[in-house]
Amino acid sequence: MALCKDFLNGIVSLVISVVITVALAGDDDSYTLTDVTLSVAISAFLSGFFTSYFAE
C-alpha cells in the first residue's frame, strides 16, 4: 500500500508541475513546449515519488 501512496504522490507532483509549466510557457524558440513539458514531467514525478518514499 505504501508504494501506491508514493506513486500517487509522484503523479500529483507531475500534474501540478506540468500544468504550471504549460500555463507559463513563453514563445521562446530555443526549446519546444514538448521538450520542456517532458523534462518537467519526469523531474516532478521522480521528485514526488522519492520524497514520499524516503520520508517514511
Provide the greatest CA pair distance for the chain: 44
Q: Where are the domains of the chain?
A: 2-55
Find the radius of gyration of the CA atoms of the chain: 13
Please, what is the end-to-end C-alpha distance for the chain in angstroms? 13
Alpha carbon distance 6, 25 (integer Å): 28
Q: pLDDT tens digits, the chain, 56 residues: what are they? A: 678 888 888 888 888 888 888 888 777 777 788 888 898 999 999 998 898 888 86
